[in-house]
Amino acid sequence: MWFEIIKKPYVINAEILNPKEIEDSPQPVRWKFNKLFQGSQGKTPNLKPIHSYEDSTLHWTPRLNEALCYAFFGSFVVPTEKSSYKDEDKPTIKQALKTEQDFQLRMDEGYAEYQQGDRDNWMFINNKKNITPRGVELPVDYDYRMPNTPKYKYLPDSKVEELGKELLQRMKDNSLTSKDKENLKNSAGILEKEMENAIKHLGMMLSKYFGGQ
The gap between the terminal CA atoms of the chain, to the nearest Å, is 43
pTM reported for the whole predicted model: 0.87
pLDDT-derived band at 4 (thresholds 50, 70, 90) equals very low
Q: How far apart are alpha carbons 70 and 72 in whole angstroms?
A: 6
Q: In which element (H, E) is residue 166 found?
A: helix 157-172
pLDDT in tens, 88-113: 999 999 999 988 889 999 998 877 66
pLDDT in tens, 45-71: 888 877 788 899 999 999 999 999 999
Tell me how far CA of residue 59 lies from CA of 77, 95, 194, in angstroms: 13, 12, 25
Angle between helices 195-210 and 64-73 (to 10 degrees): 80
Q: How far apart are alpha carbons 190 and 68 in whole angstroms?
A: 14
Which DSSP symbol is given to 63?
-
Q: What is the mean pLDDT of residues 72-101?
A: 86
pLDDT at residue 48, as a whole number: 81
pLDDT in tens, 107-156: 988 776 666 666 666 667 777 878 888 999 999 888 888 899 999 999 99
